Structure 1
């Protein structure tokens, strides 16, 4: 779709082992994508979120910082993996493909691309990332635990970043202004990172208990993909001139 897609593919085929690795890959994506690529604006917001997480880990802002760092890596791997699959023509979750196939549509606002990516990443990927993190660290996803407290402790910062992005990215893909009133206002007003992350944690608890049944786990993820893709495609409805 873009002449630099092969460069993007090489970047996301690298496997991160630390938050620093994750940031480097995101920075490579940032440096590669042009402003007219919707992927750039999701990656831009995600990069800001990851920088905020890294800063808080470094400042000792969590009770279990190693768990949060592992979650950051496991989470980002799913984004990079989805992009790599799409760029190489392989099967890709539909919630992600909704974003990737619209990357060049100039009537869509930058914030729409950013939120469609956040929607796919939180509602589809995050439960899987939480389960993977717990498996690696020997913990269990449960409400009331140390990990859950650290996890929810990020909500205020993440909501603030998204609210700021709603203003910064409130232009069409190429930077031209949007109409004063459109369906986009209602769409943006209804989006809550906190609510999405709570739902993701609930789904992670379900997915954790489904681990002995791979068929049920797969069916559960397929169902999440279906529901999440509906939201992604709703978020990506072009704003009329």
Structure 2
């Protein structure tokens, strides 16, 4: 079993700084930049809520947020170095400059990759680092999910076309309606519990994680269907 290491929970602030640097460096319409802006807002909100004591265990929640974010940044670094990122991230990096892909598609594809694959592994990483099972993180997992949910709603409002009666004919309306963050979160929690149960069986753990990665990548390719 491979974990993504963070020296301390405070690394959540380092993750946010890395995202701010990416935001400054990437072209505004670059698909990775679109997702990065979304995720930076999530990371800043998690840090804000942690500083206000709004999590059951602020230290553990920050650790989860840092490990979660580090998986995205590791994919960014791999792509920048010419290496293959995980399968869940490849569609976004491959299509990031496609003129037929809309900003909302980039945002949803990034969220899909991150929640559909990275979140479950980040939970396991955090549990391993803290020496606790997933049940100890469940309440704060839900609160982190609430942050994601509130932001997804805002993203859809900001990046969807309209309002206009003709929008019902826009393919983006139908494509965006096929993916649910709530379902993805539920699946991530279930996957984290399965992975935790398999953590001492390296072959099965690796196989399950690989299938999770490939499945998220398949959904990402669908979400990034060029619409013109």
**Same-fold call, TM > 0.5?**
yes
Helix, strand or coil for the counterpart of 1:26? helix
Give the equivalent residue in structure 1 for 2:185.
197
Helix, strand or coil for the counterpart of 1:95? coil
In structure 2, distance between residues paired with 1:91 and 1:36: 22
Distance 1:116 1:16, change over 3 A: farther
Q: What is the CA distance between 1:137 and its match in structure 2?
A: 0.9
Which segments of 5 or more consecutive residues in structure 2 lack a partner in the other structure?
A: 1-5
CA RMSD of aligned residues (A): 1.7
Distance 1:109 1:156, change over 3 A: same
Q: What is the CA distance between 1:155 and its match in structure 2?
A: 3.1
Give the equivalent residue in structure 1 for 2:126.
133
Q: What is the CA distance between 1:89 and its match in structure 2?
A: 2.1
1:157 aligned to 142, 147, 154, which one? 147
In structure 2, distance between residues paired with 1:23 and 1:115: 20
Give the equivalent residue in structure 1 for 2:3.
none
Deviates more, 1:219-228 or 1:187-196: 187-196
Q: Is 2:64–2:126's contact at 8 Å kept on the other side of the alignment?
A: yes
Show CA shifts across 1:10-38 (max 9, x none). xxxxx785111011000000000112311
Q: Is 1:16–1:77's contact at 8 Å kept on the other side of the alignment?
A: no
1:84 aligned to 74, 77, 80, which one? 77
In structure 1, distance between residues paired with 2:84 and 2:145: 32
2:205 aligned to 192, 217, 224, which one? 217
Helix, strand or coil for the counterpart of 1:94? coil
Q: What is the CA distance between 1:64 and its match in structure 2?
A: 0.6
Q: What is the CA distance between 1:230 and its match in structure 2?
A: 1.2
Q: What is the CA distance between 1:169 and its match in structure 2?
A: 2.5
1:119 aligned to 95, 112, 116, which one? 112
Which segments of 5 or more consecutive residues in structure 1 lack a partner in the other structure?
A: 1-14, 172-178
In structure 2, distance between residues paired with 1:106 and 1:16: 40
Helix, strand or coil for the counterpart of 2:82? coil
In structure 2, distance between residues paired with 1:211 and 1:19: 25
Give the equivalent residue in structure 2 for 1:55.
48
Residues matched between the structures, number: 216
Deviates more, 1:100-109 or 1:191-200: 191-200
